[in-house]
């Protein structure tokens, strides 16, 4: 066999080196793709990042709070908080999320959807500085308390069932007419079987309430005006399948003096402040339903003992009985003014705000 020349040997060696290099490159590329895929799967399934910090917590009542400004600064969040003192509300904006809470109440509306969480803000009476409890931190800022430390989530906290707590708006009430809104709300049942819409306009949304310098926000079901007998034994039922997001189990009735003091404050304001209106609703149960609809059942008496935040109600399930809590008669210990007051909100807005008086009555008559 003829011996290869030196130059041919060199060329063959170079060829083999090139082939070997291509093989190595291919193997490295494949391994890199596999590792990246595994890493992506891990990041998709792992809800927390490795960004973990500690904060000084404030023990207030039965909960721990963290200063809003400390969390935002240390995690470098693009977020701001505003305390509306006249209204008694706190509004937090973070990325595409807007959270609304009320001082002294466990309620949280996130992009107009009320969540079944014990979220509550605290506002220092001297400095006005805002602090949040753990539930508010998680759902408004994506920061989770974890054994004394706080971890920034990579994904927003989800709440089930998604059919109820889907934050994607399905309707803009300012952009639809009364007939479209009626069709949207027709899945709701009557909260008091057999009751008809009141014959009095004063019992409907939009009616003036001059005694507190405000407007009636909901629908009243009184005896003598709704075609059924209404008393303390009248049962109030859920208008659809939903989830309880607030239940005033520990409600304490105001005294006449306390109520009159709040009414005097409201009379001096341009409109009834939110925190005063909240007290005037008396013992309430709030239920979030699908399609962005949230219903407040107000002035309640006896409540279903099973109710708690997060309790899943079925259509027609007992919520409680009609009462007069929050009213003048309730404060004085009387038995008058017994009625159900029911507010209906769509993504945090009162459903009727863009309708005329006649449109409101027509819509409600078709639903209830």
Mean pLDDT by 10 residues, the chain (368 residues): 60 70 67 50 40 90 94 95 96 95 95 95 96 96 91 82 84 94 96 95 92 90 95 98 97 96 92 94 98 97 97 98 97 96 97 95 93
Q: CA of 356: how far to CAs of 206, 207, 295, in Å?
A: 9, 11, 21
Tokens standing for residue 178: 């009364």
134, 145 in Cβ contact below 8 A? yes
Q: Residues 229, 234, 237, CA angle at the centre, nearest 5°?
A: 120
Instruction: Round to whole Å and give the CA distance between 265 and 125.
Output: 19
Question: How far from the centroid of its chain's Cα atoms is residue 89's Cα?
Answer: 14
- Residues whose CB is less than 8 angstroms from the CB of residue 223 and which lie 6 or more positions away in sequence, other chains included: 229, 230, 231, 338, 339
- Residues whose CB is less than 8 angstroms from the CB of residue 264 and which lie 6 or more positions away in sequence, other chains included: none
Instruction: Round to whole Å and give the CA distance between 29 and 7.
Output: 33
Other C-beta atoms within 10 Å of 54: how many?
Answer: 9
pLDDT of residue 198: 95
pTM metric for this prediction: 0.84
Question: Residue 19: which H helix or E strand, with range?
Answer: helix 6-45
Other C-beta atoms within 10 Å of 39: how many?
Answer: 10
SS3 content of the chain, % helix, strand, coil (to 5): 30, 30, 40
Other C-beta atoms within 10 Å of 55: how many?
Answer: 18
The CATH number of the domain covering residues in 173-367: 2.70.70.10
**Best CA proximity match to 84, nearest among 115, 140, 130, 139:** 130
Task: Taking the CA atoms of 78, 84, 87 and 88 in sequence, report the sign of the dihedral they define.
Answer: positive
118, 106 in Cβ contact below 8 A? yes
**Residue whose pair of structure tokens reads 């807007």 in the numeric block:** 98
Say yes or no: domain 51-159 is CATH 3.40.50.12780: no
The domain locations on the chain are 51-159, 173-367
Q: Rounded to the nearest 10 degrees, what angle do helices 134-141 and 68-75 cross at?
A: 40
Instruction: Round to whole Å and give the CA distance between 336 and 350.
Output: 27
Same fold, 51-159 and 173-367: no
Does the N-terminal peptide bond of residue 161 adopt cis geometry, omega within 30 degrees of 0?
yes
């Amino acid at each position: 066999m003829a011996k290869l020349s030196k130059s041919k040997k060199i060329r063959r060696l170079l060829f083999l080196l090139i082939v070997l290099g291509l093989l190595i490159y291919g193997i490295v590329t494949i391994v890199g793709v596999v590792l990246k895929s595994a890493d992506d799967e891990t990041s998709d399934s792992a809800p927390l990042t490795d960004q973990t910090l500690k904060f000084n917590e404030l023990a207030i009542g039965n909960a721990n709070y963290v200063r809003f400004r400390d969390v935002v600064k240390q995690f470098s969040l693009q977020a701001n908080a505003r305390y509306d003192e006249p209204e008694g509300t706190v509004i937090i904006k973070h990325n595409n999320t807007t959270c609304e809470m009320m001082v002294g109440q466990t309620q949280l509306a996130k992009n107009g959807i009320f969540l079944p969480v014990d979220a509550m803000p605290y506002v220092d009476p001297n400095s006005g500085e805002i602090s949040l409890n753990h539930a508010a931190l998680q759902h408004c800022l994506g920061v989770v308390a974890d054994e004394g430390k706080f971890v920034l989530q990579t994904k927003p906290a989800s709440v089930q069932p998604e059919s109820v707590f889907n934050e994607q708006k399905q309707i803009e009430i300012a952009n639809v007419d009364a007939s479209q809104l009626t069709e949207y709300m027709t899945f709701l049942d009557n909260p008091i079987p057999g009751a008809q819409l009141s014959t009095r306009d004063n019992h409907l949304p939009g009616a003036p309430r001059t005694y507190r310098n405000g407007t009636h926000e909901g629908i009243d079901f009184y005896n003598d005006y709704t075609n059924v007998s209404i008393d303390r034994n009248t049962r109030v039922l859920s208008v659809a399948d939903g989830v309880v997001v607030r239940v005033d189990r520990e409600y304490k009735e105001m005294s006449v003096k306390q109520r009159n003091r709040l009414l005097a404050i409201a009379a001096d304001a341009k409109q009834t402040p939110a925190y005063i209106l909240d007290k005037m609703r008396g013992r309430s149960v709030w239920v979030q339903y699908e399609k962005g609809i949230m219903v407040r059942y107000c002035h309640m008496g006896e409540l279903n003992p099973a109710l708690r935040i997060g309790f899943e109600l079925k259509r027609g399930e007992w919520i409680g009985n009609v009462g007069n809590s929050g009213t003048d008669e309730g404060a004085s210990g009387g038995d008058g003014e017994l009625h159900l007051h029911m507010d209906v909100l769509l993504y945090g807005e009162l459903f009727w705000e863009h309708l005329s008086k006649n449109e409101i009555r027509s819509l409600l008559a078709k639903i209830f």
